[in-house]
Amino acid sequence: MSRLLIPVLLLCPSISFAAIAGEGAGQPAAAGDGATRFRLFAPAWRLIGEQKPQDVAKKFTVIYGNLPPAPFHEGNPRCQCIKYILGPYVGEYLTKTLPPECLAHDAEGKIIKARSFANWLVVPDNPKWLEHEAQEVPKLMNSEFDGLFVDSMGTAPVETNYLFAKPINPNTGRLYTKAEWMAAECVMLETIAKAMPKGKLLTLNGLGRGERYWAEPEGESPRCLLKYVDGAMSELIWRQPNSPLTAWPTVDQWMGEIRMVQDVDKRGLMGFWWTKCWSDGNTSDNEPNADKLVPQWRRFAMGSVLLAAGPRAYFNFDTVKNDKPKSNAAEYFAEYDAPLGDATGPMEQVGQTGVYLRRFTNGLVVVNPTDAPANNIPIPAGAYKSWGEDRTVGSPLTIAPHTGLILTLQ
């Protein structure tokens, strides 16, 4: 029995119906060209291994970190290099030079360190801290960098064990509530935004998982930060980095994050979607069946982003935190070369199944986010190469649970 393809207009991004002849995945596109296609970014505060910046810039067209921009711009003039700062944290040196009231304190009056990093929390809306930020931002942007990236925003300091202790709100003498903390971060981010030179991008990290993004009221969600920035990142989309490879999102969790990708694009913002397989704190490659599950995660994450993406969405998939001999946040995989072209419509649900697909000028993306195999799934006629797999598929399609397929016509 045939199944209908039902368009899913959850928060439908802008679509380009024009094919870009000869442009493959990971290649740059002119800003604002309106085309929805596969794009890559590199969170290169973790560096780029032993690769040449000129080569990386041809594939990863947004580079975060502190590496000199000139070599990236040389390799690709359209590559955007975004300077990294710690957000509401400082290194040890500044704990000794900033006015004491800039630093957050716990209930015992001690300054507060992150558990896993040599970073100390600040009071985001402290006037002296705001003065410091307003002075530093123009200095940082008087450079070849194309913008500024504010890391570690959001509610983690007040609702997780990211820190050794929870911060006290100096205005109340009590622990910060989520709403109070987010309001303080808004003040800080607004100060940074006002200090940014014209023509430079301002982006942040802190969207988290879909549950955090869609928290209500909005004042307790990272959504309240988005009006100050040009782009935003989630480094937790689809999975917690240290979770087992068998810990797949539920369909509801997956759909919440689909909607997050779409919502960021609907707001006219760049979206940066980073999925990490670091189950033991460094990598997932030592887990049982990692040779199959890590590539499955990659295609699932890539396919899911492509289902929801608009013309400002970027992707990164990370399999090793501490690469040797040098950390490499610009890993490149075979699927990235799939010549999908541009999206020609929104994501569609296949009838009443739990399978979704999206059509591109040269192929399809198909994702089954459920925990059951799906059989006899109709797709447009033709023989398709399944990227990352050594096989050809056609209609009707069988797709395993928690699986994404990147398909191009042969």
Residue 374, in any domain of the structure: no
* pLDDT confidence of residue 350: 96
The residue among 29 and 159 whose pLDDT is bigger is: 159
Residue 147, in any domain of the structure: yes
* pLDDT confidence of residue 11: 41
Residue 292, in any domain of the structure: yes
pLDDT tier for residue 91 given thresholds of 50, 70 and 90: very high
Average predicted confidence (pLDDT) for the chain? 92
User: How far is Cα 227 from Cα 347, in angstroms, rounded to an integer?
Assistant: 26
pLDDT at 317 over 70: yes
Average pLDDT over residues 182-208: 98
Quote the DSSP letter at residue 218.
G
Average pLDDT over residues 46-67: 98
Structural domain of residue 38, as residue ranges? 24-339
Backbone angles phi, psi at 134, to 5 degrees: -60, -30
Secondary structure (DSSP) of 333-350: -GGGG-----B-S--EEE
CATH number at 93 reads: 3.20.20.70
For the chain, the C-alpha Rg in angstroms (whole number) is 22
User: How far is Cα 57 from Cα 77, in angstroms, rounded to an integer?
Assistant: 9
* pLDDT confidence of residue 32: 52
* pLDDT confidence of residue 172: 98
Total domains in the chain come to 1
pLDDT at 251 over 90: yes
Secondary structure (DSSP) of 69-138: HHHHHHH-TT-EEEEEE-SSEE-HHHHHHS-GGGB-B-TTS-B-BBSSSS-EEB-TT-HHHHHHHHHHHH
* pLDDT confidence of residue 3: 39
- pLDDT digit string, tens, across residues 288-304: 999 999 999 999 999 99
pLDDT at 154 over 50: yes
Residue 240, in any domain of the structure: yes
Average pLDDT over residues 7-26: 34
Q: pTM above the 0.75 mark?
A: yes
Residue 395, in any domain of the structure: no
Residue 404, in any domain of the structure: no
- Do 149 and 205 form a contact (C-beta atoms < 8 A)? yes
Residue 16, in any domain of the structure: no
pLDDT at 25 over 80: no
The residue among 96 and 7 whose pLDDT is bigger is: 96
